[in-house]
Chains A and B, each alone.
Chain A
């Protein structure tokens, strides 16, 4: 069993005192920046970058990796507690996590998020160890046609995201599409809907949209109500999930892991999409879908598992192909390059200590994260006892810092405020922000890949049906459509 020899070797590397210390430092820092909204892993890794010059390659990469996946654990905390997505990937967790907190179940939600992340992290790491190179090759099978069909399928399935009025849901998806196309078009290089404002040339960032729609809008809506805002602690029902919670969360977490692991490997689509996809899947599979959006534990377990699984498998293209799937990965690749290590097809052979040491450290890191995060649950829940008059200015300050820190540009802060106003209007109109966010993410990806696929096929649309993976997605799209349309046609959609 070569795998066990390799893993034993990897644990030998990772359990050295130095590497353990850097792993712990990485995950602790990752948790912290994950909790602080806006201060993301990208900015943190960039700031720590020069430190890695003075470290050997293995501890350096172990620490940077720890920050990256540690942030996925911390990111759910503010989503659940105050409806503020700490990281891109945890925006979906806001939907049900925040509702659980409002019902006094912040503790079980936080603990479930940590446990689901731990499970997914372990499985994701196992996947890298078992089949990293094979999975890496799989990413190469996804061309423009496959991406287009996948996005189309996700967009059709997104109707599931809506809670009530289907027309409103559709309108929100379209509004998201419109916001998404602002900026330079990848295919033609033309700036669209930028109105000559240079800041709009690169489009509106995900953080700006997500923070504006969820956190800012929520605060404005809360301030409006005259009665003092509910203090959650009055009805906190236990810090840890009950046996029933765990039973409800187990399968969603497992399915989320599978979906997340798949999306993580695809460069560019990333963890955000994986958490949306798995949320839609759970809602479709649930016996009572109306519970979603009202504090369903599945709605926390599945996306949190997905984004952490994706955070692990995102290492596969970087380690086995030398391709960064995101800007954060590009920085890690840069750190390796400066150490004289060529990540890529040869790394497993040339640098087994790095490859297997990193994999083993991810297991240790995930374990440390659970040990670190579970005792913190009580502390986080206490945070909710802070009077609202202190809490809401703090949240707004963090929103501003977070949006500012991405580009160091105040424009993003103003834009977030404007989107907050839009979000408030949507609350008043009883429109859900989640389908908007999904349209915003999927629309531009669908357009980009559709046009690319047609450019490559010189305008021949059959390309979507002649490539097997694309065909499979197309068939699935039709099936999903039928499943959704048939009950609506037979009976009027039940208002939820």
Chain B
């Protein structure tokens, strides 16, 4: 049984190699495209990639194969990614960690210059929720309460450097309040801590926490986006409720390695935007709390520069250190 099987696998691999060199001259895309996700399977990033991949594959006429390469909040995947050939056969999903890593870790690549940004696929926001026993009912009350009890309030997060953590740091930075950060290993344990009242505050991913709020297990205060989320139009944003200019977005963007030819970037851009406009994809992304965007490569590059600069400021002010 065994040797013939191995022979068959080898034969398959050899023929695949032969085929790929023969196809090098064919029009793009001539072979499957690797779609790198910087996290292990299971997170929202991974799910967003797996929602987009089948549709974009259909439009490109080639398979987009989702490949998980987890570790160091996308830094490991990015480092491997910038060294892949810029031929359009490897693309990557950028996650928020991508914008905070330059301030937290020593990176062996440039987070702007080594990438060809294709499009900001979707954005989601966090929802500030509190335990029902926690007195403040609005952003203004929360600020007043925090000023009266400096250093007494515990807030939970899904880990250092996550948007859950940084949403709270930005809030403190902009309002001059002081809370105590309690980090958990992932969103599940963090949410349990809030439900049990071990911590009082949490900036959770909208779809995850909204159902707890609807069931009366938590109280929703405000969302972190620039606009109210379609998932809960009755909840104000932090900015309109008393902290003007406050905005945290969890973004899901697509990029290629730098020096990828412009026609290939344009083709990928066109097909991703087309997929983002498909009704079934829109519906699925919105179900995950992510609003489809699909902007131009230039807009996405500017967005990324802005995000990196913003978080560098907050991380420095909060005194967060990575390595």
Contacts and interface: CB of A to CB of B under 8 A. Distances in A.
Interface string B268-307: 0000000000001000100110000000000000000000
5 contacts: A144-B198, A184-B322, A189-B104, A198-B72, A324-B188
A338 B51 contact: yes
Contacts of B159: 186, 189
A205 to B, nearest CB: 10
A322 B212 contact: yes
A199 interface: yes
B133 to A, nearest CB: 13
Interface stretch (A247-255, A280-288, A404-412): A404-412
A50 B288 contact: no
B188 A268 contact: yes
A42 to B, nearest CB: 5
B50 interface: yes
Given A190-B321, A456-B182, A337 B195 contact: no
A41 to B, nearest CB: 10
Nearest to A327: B42
Contacts of A268: 185-186, 188-189
Contacts of A456: 154, 182, 198
B226 interface: no
Nearest to A202: B71
A161 interface: no
Interface stretch (A297-305, A341-349, A487-495): A341-349
B208 A338 contact: no
Contact of A42 (B40, B54, B185, B208): B40
Interface in A420-472: 448, 452, 455-456
Contact of B287 (A317, A326, A340, A394): A340
A338 B284 contact: yes
Contacts of B50: 46, 49-50
B76 A198 contact: yes
Contacts of A406: 40, 70
B180 A455 contact: yes
Given A346-B215, A407-B68, A50 B198 contact: no
B287 A338 contact: yes
B148 interface: no
B41 A201 contact: no
Interface string A126-154: 00000000000001111110000000000
Contacts of A186: 159-160, 183-185
Interface residues of A, number: 60
Interface string B191-203: 1110110100000
Interface in A258-285: 267-268
A195 to B, nearest CB: 11
Contacts of A321: 192, 195, 212
A407 B70 contact: yes
A208 to B, nearest CB: 13
Interface stretch (A83-91, A234-242, A328-336): A328-336
B43 interface: yes
Interface of B: 2, 40-44, 46-47, 50-51, 53-54, 66-72, 75-76, 79-80, 104-106, 154, 159-161, 180, 182-189, 191-193, 195-196, 198, 207-208, 211-212, 214-215, 217, 280, 284, 287-288, 320-323
Given A42-B42, A186-B159, A186-B183, A143 B193 contact: yes
Contacts of B2: 386, 390, 394
A409 B43 CA distance: 19
Given A42-B42, A199-B71, A327-B40, A49 B47 contact: yes
Interface string A13-39: 000000000000000000000000000
Given A189-B322, A390-B2, A407 B284 contact: no
B42 A407 contact: no
Contacts of B66: 46
B296 to A, nearest CB: 28
A338 B211 contact: no
A187 interface: yes
B75 A201 contact: yes
A409 B211 contact: no
A359 B288 CA distance: 25
Given A143-B196, A143-B198, A199-B76, A45 B41 contact: yes
Given A140-B195, A456-B182, A409 B323 contact: no
Interface in A184-210: 184, 186-191, 194, 196, 198-199, 201-202
Contacts of A199: 71, 76
B184 to A, nearest CB: 7
A198 B71 contact: yes
Nearest to A346: B215
A114 interface: no
Given A189-B320, A326-B188, A346-B214, 8 more contacts: A46-B41, A46-B50, A143-B193, A317-B192, A327-B40, A342-B211, A407-B76, A409-B69
B71 A407 contact: yes
A328 B40 CA distance: 10
A46 B68 contact: yes
Nearest to B42: A327
A217 interface: no
A344 B68 CA distance: 28
A414 interface: no
Nearest to B154: A456
Interface in A386-403: 386, 390, 394
B111 to A, nearest CB: 14
Contacts of B180: 455
Given A45-B41, A327-B41, A408 B68 contact: yes
A45 B321 CA distance: 35
B244 to A, nearest CB: 29
Contacts of B188: 267-268, 317, 323-326, 329-330
Contacts of B280: 53
A321 B50 CA distance: 25
Nearest to B50: A49
Contacts of B192: 139-140, 267, 317, 321, 323
A246 B211 CA distance: 46
A43 interface: yes
Contact of B42 (A141, A330, A337, A390): A330
Interface string A465-487: 00000000000000000000000
B321 A330 contact: no
B5 to A, nearest CB: 10
B231 to A, nearest CB: 11
Contacts of A187: 183
A43 B215 CA distance: 32
Contact of B160 (A184, A317, A326, A328): A184
Nearest to B48: A334
B47 A331 contact: yes
A327 B130 CA distance: 25
A201 B322 CA distance: 10
A408 B36 CA distance: 10
A194 B116 CA distance: 30
